[in-house]
Structure 1
């Protein structure tokens, strides 16, 4: 059942290595450029409990003897060194900000152990703000935080616990840690192995974190409540009331194909925010949409981040508060679309009936899968080449397949497709993975979305209902194409829980028909 821990590390080791090499390059390339610029200081800051955090400070040129500059604090991403943001920090300083970037505890030269955005990390953020207000010409009334990935999550958590933070830009972050790496009660194996491997190579995982990963990979169901509690403590979603009470202006940006923090978990969080807010989605995987900005190249995410702070920290009337707050970039057209809120993204829904009764055998990968972490979504981002499968050739012994009619006009899929079906299993546990494909005239399917679903404790032979949200997306299905829903039981992205010899039967009872509901933009 599932994949052993060792095999997962083998699967991800190439990705981990590539990420770290890229991360080091990202850090060092801007450092060479920025270190010659006046105003850059490398400092040690005492974090929570006195733990030393390695940091750098950039102040605006000519700031000596003056005060009142807005402050931006940038916690580093998972596994990246403290020079990660130097190029963007220099740009912000040139615009009149004091910028403090620090290496989060447990990584590189900072002290302590990796706490995964636990209470010490949140306390560290406040200590860095304290230090900046005491040691730079920063204005205590104009404090912002931003970061990519790990830095994004810490920034959101800090905004719940520190009322001084007035604006946040959380880029490729998480709102719900459990819904990110354990959605559908299914371990996102490659994502977790990447985090585990990168943390071990660049930092010092705490004993608690090592145990969390051990329990996660071993599929120890008795530890599931502990895992969920651990994740909820580290999820901004848990503290939504405090974030709203504190009132910081929150900008969220993510990639449609983010394999670490899938887009859905940001949506619920965004909808529950009551203060000034903005939600941006673009093609790409985890942090790939904003990564070019670390090299100083033109980058929409960082441009909007600057505009967000200019308005909410400096009071500039740049119009960002009057734009449609939900901004989506389609994977198919590359153009931006603005919406007043998330529910307006999908104006209508079209159901594809999943008729009849279909039985598949478990434990074999049918050939339909979500791709490879990072690689697949980057190919989609750059070349519009998502993972593909020949739908007619998928072996029906291991894959259930349903198709829509040919569409006479293009279908603009926007938002979250939802699967509703009835499953009868021969074993009490199991995993299924649903895929939505855009199928061309020759039967070649391009992946539109997917999501895993795991069940435990079901009575063999007794039907039960399954409701599954696929990962949100923006994708245009051309005229003359079909949509296909494919379900199988094995995907390299996820740990599966299918006992040997298991079979799954999908049915569509008259009183409760099965379907996939596809969200469509108004034509």
Structure 2
């Protein structure tokens, strides 16, 4: 059900009042500087405006300007499209910080959400055209400098910012937090539907926005496993993937900062790292513990947050020319899940300096369709617990039923193992049906046999000849995790996980083998 206009107005007004109270912004009915009162320094001025987007759609926005802006000079511009289902006040706290440092900032509700017009385009061409219209409006109605335009945002806003940087040469810097490079590789990795993530996005879109017929059809086909529409769904997603336009981004030359969490339930880190490697201009990649948008979430309330601090430094250098060192720092910055310090690397390829190989020998035959007890947890909750309390999903490895889960373990490691990067699995599968799903997990196992999830990934096949073996290569989701000395690594493969839609017919079996011509193994990247 779509929210009523009255309910949206009431909710927006309440959120606006709360955010204004916490940020110290001064509401102003028209453009101009806020004045100091009662002996205090003047606060940045904020006003709420309507901007005409592509095709005449009204976009609800807020404009925050430096306190002493009087029209005598131009300021760098930062445009912030909202996250999926978030109201336009999402960025008011960060807008206040940017305006206090000399930026004009526009945050706006993307089309199809809340009181902005139109229907949800899911980062389609109209969303990109809207972003360019917002830039046009800012250059015409604010003291924004046309030569110093930046974009950024969280999640949906990150994706739209990257896509706009490919189409609009005026965008000189982007900070894309918890975004995506490849939409299909995010929600359909391993040819497996990410059930909980996609259902959550669909529900949030229906609650706070107006999904159009195209989005409704895509979600129905995707969640309904309509393989006849698979090529169409993939084409729809590729059209909305910044990776599809990386050559244009490189040609336009915008400085791109990417930030994400190791446990992002919506946009796993692999696809962002792959996108980062294809960028040729100034670039930066940051990974931290947490789930989707949790690394930068507190910064939206104005609280100290290194993700947003780094984003402002990025804008300061590439829009204002500040000599703050971001261009000289290592472009890859990783915060491992077990420590609170950053590690710098010159490229993603250099993150790992060695490998540990776990042989997946022998033959294992599994009954499919039942959860063995090994799984990736719950969307958002599990990775947040890992971020805040270092409590990832766990499983008792000795107690996993071997009829449902194939298990291999290393010997205990004498020294700590610093896993850095992307573990990869190679095996040979044989199914009794033409379709099937397997999920691979890597666990850190202590002396009691309790395994803490390090990483995992799903894999689905279709149109295979029953009884005919075939090779599988699967990248697990990238991570940075320290395995203590004395612990083992365990590889577990089963056929069901609540995070994903499985394609195992009733009564089917799945066999994993290790032929001499292509031995099965899991390769773990480490930093020696």
Q: TM-score, normalised by structure 1?
A: 0.94
CA contact (8 A) 1:26 1:295 kept: no
After superposition, give the CA deviation of every residue in 1:381-412 in whole Å (9 maximum; x if it has no partner): 00000000000000001000000111000000
Task: Say if 2:205 is the partner of 1:199.
Answer: yes
Q: Which residue of 2 aligns with 1:137?
A: 143
**Structure 1: gaps of 5 or more residues:** 1-21
Q: 1:235 aligns with which of 241, 244, 251?
A: 241
Q: Which residue of 1 aligns with 2:428?
A: 422
Query: CA, structure 1 residues 283+316, in 2 after alignment: closer, same or farther (shift >3 Å)?
Result: same
Aligned length: 502
Q: Matches of 2:13 and 2:489 in 1, distance apart?
A: 41
SS of 1:84's equivalent in the other structure is: helix
Q: Which residue of 1 aligns with 2:315?
A: 309
SS of 1:290's equivalent in the other structure is: helix
Q: Matches of 2:360 and 2:377 in 1, distance apart?
A: 24
Q: 2:128 aligns with which of 119, 122, 131?
A: 122
Q: 2:58 aligns with which of 49, 52, 58?
A: 52
SS of 1:313's equivalent in the other structure is: helix
For residues 9-158 of structure 1, what are the structure 2 equivalents within 5 Å?
Answer: 29-34=18-23, 35-36=25-26, 38=34, 39-158=45-164
Q: Which residue of 1 aligns with 2:478?
A: 472
Q: Matches of 1:374 and 1:241 in 2, distance apart?
A: 33
CA contact (8 A) 1:88 1:296 kept: yes
Q: Matches of 1:139 and 1:234 in 2, distance apart?
A: 29
More deviation in 23-32 or 70-79? Answer: 23-32
Q: Which residue of 1 aligns with 2:351?
A: 345
Q: Which residue of 2 aligns with 1:459?
A: 465
Deviation at 1:26, TM superposition (A): 7.8
Deviation at 1:333, TM superposition (A): 1.4
Query: CA, structure 1 residues 339+27, in 2 after alignment: closer, same or farther (shift >3 Å)?
Result: farther
SS of 2:328's equivalent in the other structure is: coil
Q: Matches of 1:435 and 1:248 in 2, distance apart?
A: 37
Q: Which residue of 2 aligns with 1:274?
A: 280
Deviation at 1:248, TM superposition (A): 0.1
SS of 1:129's equivalent in the other structure is: helix
Q: Which residue of 2 aligns with 1:13?
A: none
Q: Which residue of 2 aligns with 1:434?
A: 440
Q: 1:411 aligns with which of 411, 417, 426?
A: 417
**Structure 2: gaps of 5 or more residues:** 1-10, 28-33, 35-44
CA contact (8 A) 1:27 1:85 kept: no
Q: 1:295 aligns with which of 293, 298, 301?
A: 301
Task: Say if 2:380 is the partner of 1:374.
Answer: yes
Task: Say if 2:451 is the partner of 1:445.
Answer: yes
More deviation in 137-146 or 35-44? Answer: 35-44
Q: Which residue of 1 aligns with 2:367?
A: 361
Q: Matches of 2:15 and 2:333 in 1, distance apart?
A: 27
Deviation at 1:323, TM superposition (A): 0.5
SS of 2:277's equivalent in the other structure is: helix
SS of 2:407's equivalent in the other structure is: strand
SS of 1:434's equivalent in the other structure is: strand
Deviation at 1:269, TM superposition (A): 0.6
Q: 1:336 aligns with which of 325, 338, 342?
A: 342
CA contact (8 A) 1:44 1:53 kept: yes
Deviation at 1:521, TM superposition (A): 0.8
Q: Matches of 2:13 and 2:469 in 1, distance apart?
A: 51
Q: Which residue of 2 aligns with 1:189?
A: 195
Q: Which residue of 1 aligns with 2:517?
A: 511
Task: Say if 2:316 is the partner of 1:327.
Answer: no
Q: Matches of 2:123 and 2:442 in 1, distance apart?
A: 34
Deviation at 1:31, TM superposition (A): 3.3
Deviation at 1:66, TM superposition (A): 1.8
Q: Which residue of 1 aligns with 2:389?
A: 383
Q: 1:402 aligns with which of 402, 408, 421?
A: 408
